[in-house]
């Protein structure tokens, strides 16, 4: 598991090299309009979203390892191709290839990890994955910033895209050479025909997935996509302060995710959900006083404090976000459950900016107090119906011992 997580961190580092500068590259150095460049990035997200649910079906029928290797190599080809585009249709074509690879990778990677560990290790696995993601993205963005500060030209951008492709190839080699290849869970023909109908008949799963989607919107998407334009327009801060705020957030998650997960996995899951919701509510309300501070240093300090509270909320939420949903999944539907989980993540980051942007245009402050009200209501709901959410030991006891047997085989190897 640790080797695979290390490979994931390296691939996230590669993605961090290009993520903040994609529109700049396509607009300034390839001559595309900003609208076209934005549509290319939308094609990456869109193709990744389209393949998410079908990838769950594949993962319930076939082994996760070869699917993951194929998806990672598709990502490598797509991002390497983007380094050499000269026309918009070429960019769209490579964006679809790379985005589809990223979409399948997200589901296949998590499915493979789950099949290699015991239920008791799931919280730690999700925590390591989130820490690896934030560390890789942060370091990658910082390195890319240094590279482009020294030489902001076409070859520099091409080098970043090609190195991103290399990190995907490296991950594929790690999976091929080191990671075991556990078989897919056996499934009856009747269970196979049920498919996603069986998934969506699981009421606890549907409720948790819906609540997670809402928390992703108010706790993640608003911070990632709406906070920067809000403070740029209404607060006395510049781009540098906004950059510092995001660095504080991502590095805090990278460093604190595992310790916070170890602390909160001892608590009941309903309380953990409520704690995450409360932290998001506090952070959302903490944005409002930023506009009242006329000192840029003071506003930056408050923004960093807000970013830290958001980060703590993200760390607490990750303790239950994935594990609580995966614990409900029967082995023969694990791929489908994880694909829906992945879809809530992409959906949250797609819906959040749309809702936040519309509310921001109508009433800027309403984004933050409205989001805080939603988060508070969710937290209160968890406290009221917490006994209906299975805690980790109970959920593990209800699961057949398939994953535990696979983990024992993995350790013996």
Q: Are residues 80 and 210 in the same domain?
A: no
Residue 84 tokens, joined:
């050499």
Q: What is the residue range of 172's domain?
A: 2-184
The answer to whether the beta carbons of residues 211 and 348 sit under 8 Å apart is no
Indicate whether 143 and 265 sit together in one domain.
Answer: no
Q: What is the CATH number of the domain that holds 144?
A: 1.20.1250.20
Lowest pLDDT segment from 108-117, 171-180, 204-213, 347-356: 347-356
pLDDT digits (tens, 9 = 90+) for 84-105: 999 999 999 999 999 999 999 9
Same domain as 371, residue 265: yes
Q: What is the pLDDT of residue 155?
A: 93
Give a yes or no: residue 191 inside a domain.
no
Residues 55 and 104 in one domain: yes
Of 151, 184, 217, the position where a domain reaches its end is 184
Number of domains observed in the structure of the chain: 2
- Based on the fold, state whether residues 34 and 155 are members of the same structural domain: yes
Separation between Cα atoms, residue 31 and residue 231, nearest integer Å: 30
* Residue 305 and residue 203 share a domain: yes
pLDDT digits (tens, 9 = 90+) for 181-235: 888 766 555 555 678 888 888 888 898 899 999 999 998 888 888 888 888 888 8
pLDDT-derived band at 167 (thresholds 50, 70, 90) equals: very high
pLDDT at position 400 is: 43
| Angle formed at CA 59 by CA 58 and CA 64, multiple of 5 degrees | 125
Minimal CA–CA distance to 157: which of 8, 13, 20?
Answer: 20
**Does 189 reside within a domain?**
no
- Judgement on whether residues 137 and 213 belong to the same structural domain of the protein: no
pLDDT at 412: 39
Mean of pLDDT values over 375-389: 83
pLDDT at 329 over 70: yes
pLDDT of residue 229: 84
C-alpha 102/C-alpha 49 separation (Å) is 9
**411: in domain:** no
Residue 406 lies in a domain: no
Residues 207 and 118 in one domain: no
Domain C-terminal end among 184, 217, 249: 184
Q: Are residues 333 and 232 in the same domain?
A: yes
45 vs 193, higher pLDDT: 45
pLDDT at site 159:
95
Whether the predicted pLDDT of 411 surpasses 50? no
Q: Which of 353, 269, 322, 279 is nearest to 45 (CA)?
A: 353
| Residues 76 and 225 occupy one common structural domain | no
pTM tops 0.95, yes or no: no
Query: pLDDT per residue over 266-289, tens digit each?
Result: 888 889 999 999 999 999 999 999
Q: Does some domain include residue 133?
A: yes
């Amino acid at each position: 598991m640790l080797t695979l997580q290390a490979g994931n961190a390296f691939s996230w580092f590669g993605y961090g090299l290009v993520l903040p500068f994609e529109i700049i590259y396509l607009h300034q150095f390839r001559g595309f309009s900003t609208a076209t460049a934005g549509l290319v990035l939308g094609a990456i997200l869109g193709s990744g979203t389209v393949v998410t649910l079908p990838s769950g079906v594949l993962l319930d029928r076939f082994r996760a390892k070869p699917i993951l290797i194929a998806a990672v190599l598709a990502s490598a080809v797509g991002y390497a191709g983007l380094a050499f585009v000269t026309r918009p249709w070429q960019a769209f074509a490579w964006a679809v290839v790379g985005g589809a690879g990223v979409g399948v990778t997200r589901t296949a990677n998590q499915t493979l990890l789950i099949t290699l560990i015991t239920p008791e290790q799931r919280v730690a696995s999700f925590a390591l994955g989130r820490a690896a993601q934030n560390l890789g993205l942060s370091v990658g963005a910082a390195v890319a910033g240094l590279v482009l500060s020294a030489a902001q030209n076409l070859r520099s951008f091409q080098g970043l895209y090609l190195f991103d492709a290399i990190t995907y190839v490296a991950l594929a080699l790690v999976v091929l050479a080191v990671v075991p290849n556990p078989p897919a869970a056996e499934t009856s023909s009747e269970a196979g025909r049920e498919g996603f109908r069986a998934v969506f008949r699981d009421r606890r799963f549907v409720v948790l997935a819906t609540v997670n989607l809402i928390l992703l919107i108010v706790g993640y998407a608003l911070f990632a996509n709406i906070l920067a334009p809000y403070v740029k327009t209404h607060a006395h801060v510049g781009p540098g302060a906004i950059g510092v705020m995001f660095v504080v957030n991502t590095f805090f998650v990278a460093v604190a995710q595992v310790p916070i997960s170890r602390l909160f996995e001892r608590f009941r899951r309903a309380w953990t959900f409520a704690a995450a919701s409360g932290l998001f509510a506090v952070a959302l309300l903490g944005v409002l006083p930023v506009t009242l501070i006329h000192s840029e240093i003071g506003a930056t300090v408050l923004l960093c404090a807000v970013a830290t509270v958001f980060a703590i909320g993200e760390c607490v939420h990750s303790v239950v976000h994935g594990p609580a949903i995966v614990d409900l999944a029967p082995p023969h539907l694990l791929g489908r459950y994880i694909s829906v989980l992945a879809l809530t993540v992409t959906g949250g980051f797609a819906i959040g900016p749309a809702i936040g942007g519309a509310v921001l245009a109508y009433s800027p402050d309403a984004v933050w107090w409205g989001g805080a009200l939603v988060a508070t209501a969710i937290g209160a709901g968890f406290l009221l119906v917490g006994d209906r959410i299975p805690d980790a030991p109970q959920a593990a006891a209800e699961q057949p011992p398939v994953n535990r047997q696979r983990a024992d085989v993995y350790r013996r190897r």
